[in-house]
Amino acid sequence: MRPVWIVAAETVTALGDTLEASWRRLLAGESGIRPVRRFATDGYICRHAAEIDGLAAQDEASGVRPLLDRLLHDFGPVPADAAALTATTKWGIDALERQRRGATAHEEDLLAGGLPQAIGRRFGLSTPGLNINAACASSTIALARGAAMIAHGQSETVLVCCVDLVSEFVFSGFSALKGLSAEPCRPFDRRRSGLTLGEGAAALLLMAPERARREGRAPLGAILGWGVAGDAHHITAPARDGCGLIQAVRGALRQADLPPAAVAAINAHGTGTIYNDAMELTAFQQIFGRTLPIHSVKGALGHTLGAAGGIETALALKSLQETILPPTTGFAEAEENAAGWVSAEAVPLPGEFLLTTNSGFGGINAALLLTMAGGEG
């Protein structure tokens, strides 16, 4: 199979409108979580989210439109023959909220299929795109599928674009599930009590090495392996034994032909909920049998749902480039199984292979193995 290079990556998060801005503030331990200003939260236990200014729905358009504009403004050229894979859980759900309250809305903003259509028009792509909605593992799975398409010769280049908003619809849903923390979330902390929602977007361009060389593009990093698995345990709760995540990570290791000992660090899903964090630690301890650095970005960026995997992969490339793992913002007192694994400070990245994972409702789990190495073998 061919190697898979990532040749371009950009993000927009509550910490900044560029990948570089988000990375610098994340590395400094800053947080984009603050009181919600987009809608009233008086009826909810949680009053916080990681919002991005200027994304409120205007006229008939969803707030995803200005978010996409910011993301793609300076992204650079995308080949017309690129396959487009997008990822979102709710796309323009804020437009549907407005419609249900008697306002008008763009029809394309109401269904998730509007995202690949918007991306295709933006870059003049020659083939229709496909949206992947697999809960909070959506964009990780999109990257895995894109990597597989290149590795198996189905495409020379794939654009992965992911986006999700903080909307009252989503906020109220997580509140009804009692999944939100009253305070900004604390991933892997003894006092964690739930997640904090966030919003953001990411775009990553994947290429086969030979195509990238023809176009004069240098790799930011490479996807070596990927794995996806479901635990079929519960509609919202993860399997306590981490069986689905274990299977996904082991699949990524097999794909990359790497032993567990080769993994230097992990970007975990790390939502700050009681059961997710415990499940992840259980899975990682069973797979690796040793202590290694783990971090979560969600104490700084909130949980960006379908966009989480894309944003975290782009940030993982920065970790690899600068050989450092960001702090886990919100983490203060380790839960029993997190001691020695998670840090409130930035720590050196002690190797060349980084694992990033995401898990979602319905028991879906996905894992990617990344490296800076960009060679063809």
The tens digit of pLDDT for each residue in 255-291 reads 999 999 999 999 999 999 999 999 999 999 999 999 9
Banded pLDDT at 44 (limits 50, 70, 90): very high
For the chain, domains (ranges, CATH) are 4-214 (3.40.47.10), 222-371 (3.40.47.10)
For the residues 164-168, what does the mean pLDDT come to? Answer: 95
The answer, yes or no, to whether residue 219 has pLDDT greater than 70, is: yes
More confident residue, 377 or 233: 233
Confidence at residue 232, expressed as pLDDT on a 0 to 100 scale: 85
| Residues 14 and 213 sit within 8 Å (Cβ to Cβ) | no
More confident residue, 359 or 111: 359
For the residues 177-191, what does the mean pLDDT come to? Answer: 97
Supply the DSSP symbol for 290.
Answer: S
Structure tokens at 250: 């082991």
Nearest to 277 by CA among 288, 286, 268: 268
Give percent of the chain with pLDDT exceeding 70.
Answer: 97
Confidence at residue 375, expressed as pLDDT on a 0 to 100 scale: 45
| Residues 61 and 106 sit within 8 Å (Cβ to Cβ) | yes
For the residues 79-94, what does the mean pLDDT come to? Answer: 94
The answer, yes or no, to whether residue 96 has pLDDT greater than 90, is: no
98: left (phi over 0), alpha (psi -120 to 50) or beta: alpha
Confidence at residue 100, expressed as pLDDT on a 0 to 100 scale: 74
Confidence at residue 377, expressed as pLDDT on a 0 to 100 scale: 42
